[in-house]
Amino acid sequence: MNILILGSGGREHSLAWAVKQNPKCDTLYCSPGNAGISKIAQCIDLNIENSSEIIKFCIDNDIYFVIIGPEAPLAMGIADDLRAKNILTFGPSASAAKLESSKAFTKSICDACNAPTAEYARFTELEPALNYVNEKGAPIVVKADGLAGGKGVIVAMTLEEALNGLKDIFSGAFGKAGSEVVIEEFMEGEEASFFILSDGKNILPIGTAQDHKRVFDGDQGPNTGGMGAYSPAPIMTEDVTAKAISKIIQPTIDEMANRGTPYNGVLYAGFMIKNGEPRLVEYNVRFGDPECQVLMMRLGAQALDAMLACAKGELNEYQLNWADDHALTIVYAANGYPGDYKKGTKIIGLNEISSSSNVQVFHAGTKEVENSIIATGGRVLNITARGSSLIEAHKIAYETIEKIQWENGFYRNDIGWRAL
């Protein structure tokens, strides 16, 4: 079958890598792709937020299956438009994608199905929001309601931080995403990510992970889209996972179906776990980035089979085969990220790294210019390794990243510290 992946980041590179290993895949296309993806797929320049352009390409190139990577096309309804043309698609409808595109919507779902989450309040104006924060005090969490590329959340440890965050959001720092704000209680505990596939009714757990949001070692500095991740997450024990499914995930899937907006795709749940009890932090309606990279490293070719079963509504007939392994990824980012950073700098040494089932360098923000790899984004490379233990995966990943020469980049030296 011919397959099209939409997106250009490390997430999409890892999806392409896994899909390409499956013999069901004939020709693999990716739009827009990047320098790394171009080595394993045909990269094409489509506007991934333009349904008619994507549909025409699918018809002209006999595309059987489309995998939508980023959140923006999902929120715009690209999956709906593809399904309307009978093109098999992995990714939720626009109405179901509101679980990520509106934090207020997610809270209403939690209220309806009694899923444990943080106490919250919603505001569309600055003054009442400031008053609420002054009344509640710090620590407190301030969230832009809409999509903000993973950066619209301020975990304010001081009152000043919370008030300044509110002023930034309402002054347009996150564009339309900040037209409404959700303010939540600060939840204590340990965070973990849980990924499931849903075909609208059935669910299939596909792994756990822990991300590292802060930019510097020791979880210092501002939040980012993620500086590294590892899987599985030890905090997600069998007992915690069972509670998460029965109290949060399945009730959410059931509530979405009851509302006539069944959820079809991957659902990424962020939990805060304290004393063995999970509470929902947020939902994302796509694979996390960089969590996807460690999941794909562990799943390999069967990731395609799972996504096909999900898209066809056949998850009740599908089972994953898990190896007793661990994976870890390190994000190599441009100096200055998540603030201003320089683009167009050269990366050397990637040809010296031998890719295998145990180590991959997934490209997140690169392009190839005159046979050289050039950095084009904030998060640029994801050095990803698999091992029989987290210690082994950690060792392979850090030994690999040292082979890369990039004067304009940096990375955290403590990825995986919670579990090592």
Kindly state whether residue 418 falls inside one of the protein's structural domains: no
CATH label of the domain that carries residue 296: 3.30.470.20
CATH label of the domain that carries residue 136: 3.30.1490.20
CATH label of the domain that carries residue 52: 3.40.50.20
**Same domain as 201, residue 124:** no
| Cα 24 to Cα 3: distance, rounded to the nearest angstrom | 10
**Same domain as 346, residue 264:** no
Per-residue pLDDT tens digits for 24-47: 999 999 999 999 999 999 999 999
Kindly state whether residue 71 falls inside one of the protein's structural domains: yes
**Same domain as 238, residue 173:** no
Q: 102: which residues sit within 8 A by CB, 6+ positions away?
A: 145, 146
Residue 147: pLDDT over 80? no
Q: Quote the number of domains for the chain.
A: 4
**Same domain as 272, residue 257:** yes
Kindly state whether residue 391 falls inside one of the protein's structural domains: yes
- Mean pLDDT, range 91-101, rounded to an integer: 95
Residue 356: pLDDT over 90? no
**Same domain as 197, residue 309:** yes
**Same domain as 343, residue 278:** no
What residues are paired with 151 via a beta bridge?
none
- Answer whether 261's CB lies under 8 Å from 198's CB: no
Kindly state whether residue 112 falls inside one of the protein's structural domains: no
Could you tell me the pTM of the whole model? 0.93
| Cα 157 to Cα 139: distance, rounded to the nearest angstrom | 4
What pLDDT sits at residue 152? Answer: 83
Kindly state whether residue 108 falls inside one of the protein's structural domains: no
Per-residue pLDDT tens digits for 357-388: 899 999 999 999 999 999 999 999 999 999 99
What pLDDT sits at residue 349? Answer: 95
What pLDDT sits at residue 4? Answer: 98
Kindly state whether residue 286 falls inside one of the protein's structural domains: yes
Per-residue pLDDT tens digits for 174-221: 888 788 899 999 999 999 999 999 999 999 999 999 999 999 999 999
Q: 106: which DSSP letter?
A: H
**Same domain as 206, residue 177:** no
| Cα 4 to Cα 207: distance, rounded to the nearest angstrom | 24
CATH label of the domain that carries residue 338: 3.90.600.10
Residue with tokens 């993973």: 150
| Cα 54 to Cα 220: distance, rounded to the nearest angstrom | 41
**Same domain as 371, residue 304:** no
The whole domain housing 45 covers 2-93
Q: Which domain-ending residue is among 140, 162, 185?
A: 185
Q: Which domain-ending residue is among 317, 335, 355?
A: 317
Residue 1: pLDDT over 90? yes
* Integer angstrom CA distances of residue 197 from 93, 247, 322: 14, 17, 15
Average pLDDT, the chain: 95
Q: Which domain-ending residue is among 317, 340, 362?
A: 317
3-state secondary structure of 406: coil
**Same domain as 313, residue 198:** yes
**Same domain as 164, residue 79:** no
Kindly state whether residue 293 falls inside one of the protein's structural domains: yes
Residue with tokens 């939690």: 110
Kindly state whether residue 109 falls inside one of the protein's structural domains: no
**Same domain as 292, residue 228:** yes
**Same domain as 390, residue 274:** no
